[in-house]
Each structure stands twice: as structure tokens, then as C-alpha cells.
Amino acid sequence: MGEFILARGNGRKIPKEDKIFGIAGRAKAAIAEKGRDNVVNGTVGALFDDDGNLVILDSVVKEFKDLDPRDFAEYAPIGGIPAFKEAVKKAAFGNHMPKGYLEAVATPGGTGSLRNTISNYSDRGDQILTSDWHWSPYGTIAGEIGRSVATYEMLTPDGKFNAGSFKEKVHELLERQQSLVIIINTPAHNPTGYSLTLEDWNNVIDVLCEEAKSGKTIVPLIDVAYIDFAGDEDEYRKFFDLFERFPENVLLVVAYSLSKTCTLYGGRCGAMICVAKTPEIAAEFKSVCEFSSRGSWSNSAKFGQVILSRIYGDPDLLAKVSEERAYFRNMLLARGRAFSEAAEDCGLTIVPYDGGFFVSIPCEDPDGASAILEEEDIFLVPLAKGLRLSLASAPEDKCKDLPPKIKAAIEKL
């Protein structure tokens, strides 16, 4: 008998236990047994303060408590409430609103935006392009709707964006597909903390403009899940000014999420926003994406939409949210700096960290290295190309102590 009893496999390999949740569970058990001070839990994809408490913005909690019951009990329109659709464009783009025809469609988190973009801008059987270092659910999301993921090498050996590999892969896929969705997770990429520079972006845009001469559809899907945890919120939105050069057959889509930016992980709120060259392409985006929403989760939860609408409707509240978030962002970036400096001091090679929740350490045998570290109560996630440390869940003093221990574990293999 195969792996499935009654369920249809549909070509899938479903692990008994999700690797990340498995390790996170063992880290929790170790903390319960040995105490927080004696364990490093570098596995969790949510932000914790140095005392191990989940960071939840007080200003957001206050708005949550002030909700009218209709703000969560009532259905929201499929595409989102009108105030949210405006607010989320401001949240995503800030002072760098791209020129073009913008449409926003509410989704359950960034995940919903990824799903709907893939389903509407690729054909069944197509490959979606992303970097070799990537958030593994991209493959799951694509696979569940009959697509798969192809990858380019994200970095050159000296740690720069690999525009050559990007170009090669885009060209190769467009030779055999009618359209191409390309997921680019920046700034503050998960799992590496890399952010594309403006120069990297110009190289990406050059490639896409050149390839678009084929007349085929290209959809750069920018996953900005960590946009407010990269650094200065305005500085890290400047790349949105660069997309004017795109021709009509390149449709920019931004996957925005309130999970991290508003600490509403469980609220399942986000949006997909398109920047189209014609009103017809924007209207089509709205129509096909709302149709897909209807056929997958129907309406999205309403309360996060109301909260974001209030934040962007009240400058004082927006200032409060931004100030509170800046405090925690600085806490996170200090952990990243502490880790990077200690790695440099002991000669541990890491993927250059710019910002965000995670940093990665390339190695030959990630599973082996993670098993050795686990014996010392250090819990990191093994990926295909290395280990991932969540700076979001490890306090600064531990981030500082880790590099020599990681180096020793890798050298033991």
C-alpha cells in the first residue's frame, strides 16, 4: 500500500511531521525541561522580546479591543472593505506609490496573495521562478494548484545578487511557457535577511524589460512580508519608484501581509496589489483575483482590514504604530548585527544579513550540523543549502554567542 489510505496522493510527498514545527516542538520541550536561559530556540518565525514574550503592538491591541462586533462578525466584501483597499496601498508603498493603475484585493495573509497570483498568471503545469534560498511554502502553494517551483542562484560566491543566473532562468522558462510568475522576497528575505539593492533592482528590471520583448506575460510578484523589519521604512520603499519602465505585458504584483507588520499573524489579513499599465489590465486583475478568492476561501477576515483602515485614517495612531514597531525593529536589527559581527570575528561564513527575522549559514550538511547543535540545546532549522537562525526568537546575547558554536558544529562533520 502507498503512503495514503483514502486520500488521493496527487503526486505529493507529505512528510509525517513538518520539519520546522518538529524542531520548534523539541526546542519548546527543552525549554520546559532546562529553562529558557539554557536553550537557544532559533526556529520560530514570529518576533519575541528578550524575555521570550511574543511581541504584539499595544497600539494595534487597543484598536482590536475597540472594535464594534460588526467589525468581525459581518462578512467583508470578497475583495475587501473599500477603506482597507486604500489603506493597504499606503501601508505597502508609503511615499513611493508607483505610477500606474493600482488595484488591491484582500487576501488571508500574504499566503493568499501568493496563491491567487500563481493561479491567475500561470498555466497548470508551469514552473514559477524564485531564488534557490527561499521560503519552502512557495513550493507547497504552487504544488497544490498544479504548478512547481524552479530556482535561480540568488547570490554570487562573493555574496552579491546573481543577476546572471536570474537572467538565464527567466529566459529558459519563457522559452517554454506563455507566462512567468517570479517571486522575489525582499527586503529582508526569508531565510537569509538579504535585501535587493537599488542596483540589483535595476538589473532585474533590465532583464524583465528585455525578456518582455517576446510579448509573453511576466509577473514579478514581490513578497514584502518583512518590509517594515528591514530598516528605515521610507528608505526600504525607494525601489517602488523604479518600475515605470515596465511595458504593458509586465504586471507588478505586491503581496502585502499584516502578519508581521501589524503583529496580526493569526488575524490572517493581507492584500495583493497590482500596478498595471492600463485600466483594463487592472480591472482584469481585480476580477480574476476576486473570482479565485470566492473559489478558495471566499471572503477574508474583516477585523484586520478595519484595524489597518483606522491606522491609516488617523495620523496620530499611525505615528504610534510606527514608533512602537521601530523600537522592536531596532531590537531585531541589533541581534542581526551582533550575530554578523561575531560570525566575522570567528570566521564563520554567513549569507550577508541586511535585515528581517532570519539569517542563514551556508553548509554542506545542514541536517548533520543541526543535529550536532541540537545536542547542545541549540535549535536551528536545516534548509537545503544551510542552516536558518531566527533572530526574531533568539535574544541578542545568545545571537552573539552562537557563531563559534555553529562553526564548531560544521567543522565536526
Ligand X SMILES: Cc1ncc(COP(=O)(O)O)c(C=O)c1O
Contacts with ligand X, residue ranges (CB under 6 A): 45, 109-111, 135, 185, 190, 223, 225, 257, 259, 265, 270
Rg (CA), the chain: 21
Q: How far is the CB of 6 from ligand X (least distance, A)?
A: 29
Residue with smaller CB distance to ligand X, 264 or 378: 264
Contact yes or no for 78/294 (Cβ under 8 A): yes
Q: How far is the CB of 133 from ligand X (least distance, A)?
A: 11
Task: Give the separation between CA 264 and CA 259, rounded to whole angstroms.
Answer: 4
Task: Give the separation between CA 87 and CA 314, rounded to whole angstroms.
Answer: 11
Residue with smaller CB distance to ligand X, 79 or 109: 109
Residue with smaller CB distance to ligand X, 141 or 343: 141
Residue with smaller CB distance to ligand X, 135 or 379: 135
Q: How far is the CB of 408 from ligand X (least distance, A)?
A: 29
Q: How far is CA 231 from the centre of its chain?
A: 16
Q: Beta strand pairing status for 358-362 and 381-382?
A: unpaired
Task: Give the separation between CA 369 and CA 237, rounded to whole angstroms.
Answer: 36
Nearest residue to ligand X, using CB?
Answer: 109
Q: How far is the CB of 257 from ligand X (least distance, A)?
A: 3
Grid cell digits, residue 369: 550540523
Give the H or E element holding residue 131: strand 127-131
Task: Give the separation between CA 261 and CA 188, rounded to whole angstroms.
Answer: 13
Residue with smaller CB distance to ligand X, 98 or 270: 270
Residue with smaller CB distance to ligand X, 39 or 225: 225
Q: How far is the CB of 357 from ligand X (least distance, A)?
A: 8
Residue with smaller CB distance to ligand X, 267 or 395: 267
Q: How far is the CB of 272 from ligand X (least distance, A)?
A: 11
DSSP per-residue codes, 199-223:
HHHHHHHHHHHHHGGG--EEEEEEE
Q: How far is the CB of 85 from ligand X (least distance, A)?
A: 17
Q: How far is the CB of 110 from ligand X (least distance, A)?
A: 3
Instruction: For residue 156, give Cα distances in angstroms to 36, 163, 206.
Output: 38, 9, 18
Task: Give the separation between CA 80 and CA 256, rounded to whole angstroms.
Answer: 14
Give the burial string for 179-197 (b: 16+ CB within 10 Å, else e).
bbbbbbbbbbbbbbbbbbe
Residue with smaller CB distance to ligand X, 110 or 336: 110
